[in-house]
Amino acid sequence: MKTPTTAASPLALLALALLAPACDEPKSDASKAAPSASAAAAVAATAPLAAPPPPPPAPTATWKKKNAADCKAHPATIDFGDDKALEAEVRRKLGKEKEPITPADLARVKSINLMSSQVHQIDPCIFPMFTSIKDLFFGPGEYEDLTPIQKLTTLEGLGIASSPVKDLRPIEGLKRMDRLDVSHTLINDEQLKSIGSLVNLTELTLDENAISDLTPLGNLKKLQRLSLKRTQVSNLLPIAQLKTLKFLYIAETKVSDITPVQPLVSGGMKLIEN
């Protein structure tokens, strides 16, 4: 005898109905997303990289040119303004880190070296107060007026190389001058007359200037070292009587005849031609 088929209960049918769709459920979104992410990576790999934005321009240093009329008659303290290099050098020489600097302090300074700094101007309000200065060396820069140092009669060494200085008359009265470097400036033969008045010079550097006539240098009877490199000089006769000369540099000049200084060479002077 056949066993009669048992009818499924309503609860069993409901459970099957709920489970059946789960079997047809599509794979998770993650499995769909994987190909999309790979495709995006492939596109990104072939796309050109965007150029980084250019860096912002460096701020331009500003400075205000001073005139003698801008200077206070009797300042209690020194205002260096935006000349940080000069202030740092003065403080270093005085051993003052933060204290106010007075005119009396400047009068005690014996030397200033600004050769590693860009010099915009020889400050007319400050430099006249260096009344005991002996050595003053400026770096390359835009300064061209030497008037602020014309009364520094204690000055023995001066360097103004690589500047647009073209007038040396302000230093004619500095008779103690012993060493002078005016290389790579704008001086010419006319300015050599001013140099010729500095009769105590022992070292003179005139390299890379538009000079040709050495006649004014015949007055420098104490001169020991003279450099004329890369100038227009061709005739050494004007300095043939400088018996104190120990070194003469004439590389890249127009000199072709050293006969005038041959007696100096025979006496021990070193002639450097290259």
Give me the domain span that covers residue 235: 187-274
Question: Would residue 248 count as lying in a domain?
Answer: yes
Looking at the structure, do residues 156 and 219 belong to the same domain, yes or no?
A: no
User: Which pLDDT band holds residue 70 (cuts at 50, 70, 90)?
Assistant: confident
Question: Would residue 173 count as lying in a domain?
Answer: no
Kindly state the percentage of the chain with pLDDT values over 70.
77
What values do phi and psi take at 2, rounded to 5? -70, 140
> What is the pLDDT averaged over residues 155-165?
97
Out of 20-29, 78-87, 132-141, 227-236, pick the least confident. Answer: 20-29
> What is the pLDDT averaged over residues 12-18?
43
Question: Would residue 209 count as lying in a domain?
Answer: yes
- pLDDT recorded at residue 18: 42
Question: Would residue 216 count as lying in a domain?
Answer: yes
Of 110, 127, 162, which residue constitutes the final position of a domain? 162
> What is the pLDDT averaged over residues 26-53?
51
Looking at the structure, do residues 105 and 191 belong to the same domain, yes or no?
A: no
> What is the pLDDT averaged over residues 163-179?
97
Looking at the structure, do residues 75 and 158 belong to the same domain, yes or no?
A: yes
User: In the chain, where does DSSP find H-type helix?
Assistant: 10-23, 29-46, 84-94, 103-106, 189-196, 262-266
Is residue 14's pLDDT more than 50?
no
Looking at the structure, do residues 71 and 157 belong to the same domain, yes or no?
A: yes
Tell me the whole-structure pTM to 2 decimals.
0.77
Looking at the structure, do residues 98 and 150 belong to the same domain, yes or no?
A: yes
CATH number of the domain within which 215 lies: 3.80.10.10
Looking at the structure, do residues 153 and 75 belong to the same domain, yes or no?
A: yes
Question: Would residue 114 count as lying in a domain?
Answer: yes
Domain count, the chain: 2
Question: Would residue 125 count as lying in a domain?
Answer: yes
Q: What is the dihedral of CA 213, 217, 219, 224, to 10 degrees?
A: -150
User: Which pLDDT band holds residue 51 (cuts at 50, 70, 90)?
Assistant: low
For 230, left (φ over 0), alpha (ψ -120 to 50), or beta?
A: left
